[in-house]
Structures are given as C-alpha cells and as structure tokens.
C-alpha cells in the first residue's frame, strides 16, 4: 500500500510506502514529519506537494506479470457496457489483476479466473494490497466452466477466447455482455466467426482505441513523440436469449 504521494511542480510523481520514515529520492530527503504536511521541502531545497493516495495511485503500483490491458481500453469496456455498482462480473485470465481490480472498484462483485498458479498467487497479493473485498480469484481454466450465474459482463483476455463461449452462455444473464480483448486480428476473426454461429449471442462491434498524448509547453504544443502503440482490439457481444 502507498501511504503518501509526492508531486514536484512539473509533475514528477513519487510514491511513499511508509510515511513513518524519512523518504529518500533523487531530490534528497523529506523528513517523516513533513510527510504529514501539504508541502514538503527536501534537504536540497526541492519542493513537493504531499497528497493522500487514491485508488488509481494504489492500482498503478500493483505487481505486474502478463501484459496488462491499458486504461484507455478499460474505460471503453466500462462505458460501452454500462456496468456499475449493481453489476456482477466474471473476468479471465486474471494476469496481474489490472483489469479485474479496476472493475471491482466500481462494481458489486468480480470473479476472476487464472489458469497459472504463480499468477493466481500474485493476483491474490494484489487484491490484498488494494484492500478490495468484492473480488475473488479462482485458480481455474475458464474454458472448463464458469460457476457464477446471472452475470452482467464477462471480460476475456485469453489467447483463445472462443473456447470460453460455451461457459459464457450459461453464466450470463439475458442482455449481458461479453467483451473479448485480443492483440491480433486472426484472434478477432476466429472469435467473431464462432460468436456468429451462436443463436444466443449477437455480435455488436470490434473497435481499437487510439490515445494520443500531447505536450503542452507554452507555444510548444504538439503530439508527444513517444506514444502508446498498439494494445488490442475490443470485440463486444451481447446475450439476447
Ligand atoms: N487482463 C489481464 C491480463 C491477462 S493476460 C490484466 O489486465 O492484468 C492473460 C492471462 O490469461 C494470463 O495470465 C494467462 O495465464 C491466463 N489464461 C490463459 N488461458 C486461460 C484460461 N483458459 N483460463 C484462465 N486463465 C487463462
């Protein structure tokens, strides 16, 4: 868990894990007593704003394993499916839990499936670190079955999402969504072809979210030269029976 966040005037961010101790960084030392104030000056005279961390600061610091889904894509999953405080979600594979933790922060219940034991253990730790009580993880293969029923959304970030269609059918409520995230087009083609054979499912759309970051520095205003490249395609499906 992060205790405090420090920001320099130009936006450099530092996360303090234990604010009972002095904090050391490239700009020198901040005394523990100053971490309780809203401004802190280091021994080398660098000024920091001190704030309490919020969910996103904690989430940023989770331990990573597999490639995570970027925030730009998570935002679109949330808004296009309209999930919220009453929603029940199933997710696979958990990876580092980046997506499932984000979803747990705004929904009622999340269950995430992870086939690899080492990743399962890591996500368990990440769940504990964030202190979320409405998320559980299962060390199971999602293609072998989903125990949950009446689910509002199933998110799939797996090499072969088409293998999870059959279990998804049984777990989803009528009107519920499947969102599959795949980095490559052959995966999208096979998933969409499999979905189109199903009477219970309606294929909605496949999209790619492009985020462009800009540099705003007086009159030097232009897209940043280093950008997030390709992440994945999002395919949206709805259960209609
Ligand atoms: N969305 C995750 C990243 C998932 S990476 C995040 O945001 O952190 C894909 C994960 O799926 C890997 O950890 C892999 O072990 C897991 N996986 C692959 N096939 C699976 C299956 N059939 N059931 C459950 N997990 C699976």
pLDDT in tens, 98-155: 999 999 999 999 999 999 999 999 999 999 999 999 999 999 999 999 999 999 999 9
How far away, in angstroms, is 115 Cα from ligand 1 center? 7
Of 65, 67, 90, 95, the residue with max ligand 1 atoms within 8 A of its CB, to mutate for a pocket test, comes to 95
How far away, in angstroms, is 219 Cα from ligand 1 center? 44
Q: How confident is the model at residue 1 (pLDDT cuts 50, 70, 90)?
A: confident
Asked if residues 26 and 46 have their Cβ atoms less than 8 Å apart, the reply is: no
Asked if residues 88 and 45 have their Cβ atoms less than 8 Å apart, the reply is: no
How far away, in angstroms, is 83 Cα from ligand 1 center? 21
How far away, in angstroms, is 168 Cα from ligand 1 center? 16
Global confidence as pTM: 0.96
Domains of the chain: 4-53 (3.10.330.20), 58-211+223-239 (3.40.50.150)
The pLDDT tens digits for 15-29 are: 999 999 999 999 999
236 lines ligand 1 (CB under 6 A): no
The residue whose CA has the least distance to atom 26 of ligand 1 is 93
The pLDDT tens digits for 35-45 are: 999 999 999 99
pLDDT above 70: percentage of residues in the chain: 100
CA gap 100, 87 in Å, rounded: 13
Which one is predicted more confidently, 227 or 186? Answer: 186
Q: What does the DSSP assignment read for 57-97? A: HHHHTSPP-SPPPPHHHHHHHHHHHT--TT-EEEEE--TTS
Q: Is 239 helix (H, G, I), strand (E, B) or coil?
A: strand
Name residue, tokens 């009528």.
174
The CA R_g of the chain, rounded to the nearest whole Å, is: 21
pLDDT of residue 163: 98
pLDDT of residue 229: 86
158 lines ligand 1 (CB under 6 A): yes
Bin 160: left if φ > 0, else alpha if -120 < ψ < 50, else beta: beta
The residue whose CA has the least distance to atom 2 of ligand 1 is 95
């Amino acid at each position: 868990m992060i205790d405090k966040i420090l920001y320099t005037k130009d936006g450099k961010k530092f996360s303090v894990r234990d604010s009972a101790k002095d904090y050391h960084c490239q700009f020198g030392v901040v005394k523990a007593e100053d971490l309780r104030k809203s401004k802190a000056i280091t021994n080398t005279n660098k000024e920091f704003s001190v704030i309490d961390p919020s969910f996103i600061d904690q989430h940023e610091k989770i331990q990573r394993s597999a490639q995570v889904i970027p925030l730009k894509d998570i935002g679109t999953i949330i808004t296009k499916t309209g999930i919220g405080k009453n929603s029940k979600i199933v997710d696979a594979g958990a990876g580092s839990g980046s997506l499932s933790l984000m979803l747990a922060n705004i929904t009622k219940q999340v269950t995430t499936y992870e086939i690899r034991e080492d990743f399962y253990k890591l996500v368990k730790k990440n769940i504990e670190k964030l202190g979320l009580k409405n998320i559980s993880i299962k060390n199971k293969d999602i293609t072998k079955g989903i125990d949950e029923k009446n689910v509002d959304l199933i998110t799939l970030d797996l090499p072969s999402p088409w293998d999870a269609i059959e279990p998804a059918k049984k777990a989803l409520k009528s009107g519920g969504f499947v969102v599959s995230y795949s980095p490559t087009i052959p995966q999208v083609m096979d998933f969409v072809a499999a979905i189109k054979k199903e009477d219970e499912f309606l294929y909605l759309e496949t999209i790619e979210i492009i985020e462009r970051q800009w540099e705003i520095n007086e009159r030097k205003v232009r897209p940043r030269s280093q950008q997030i490249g390709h992440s994945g395609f999002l395919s949206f499906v709805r259960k209609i029976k």
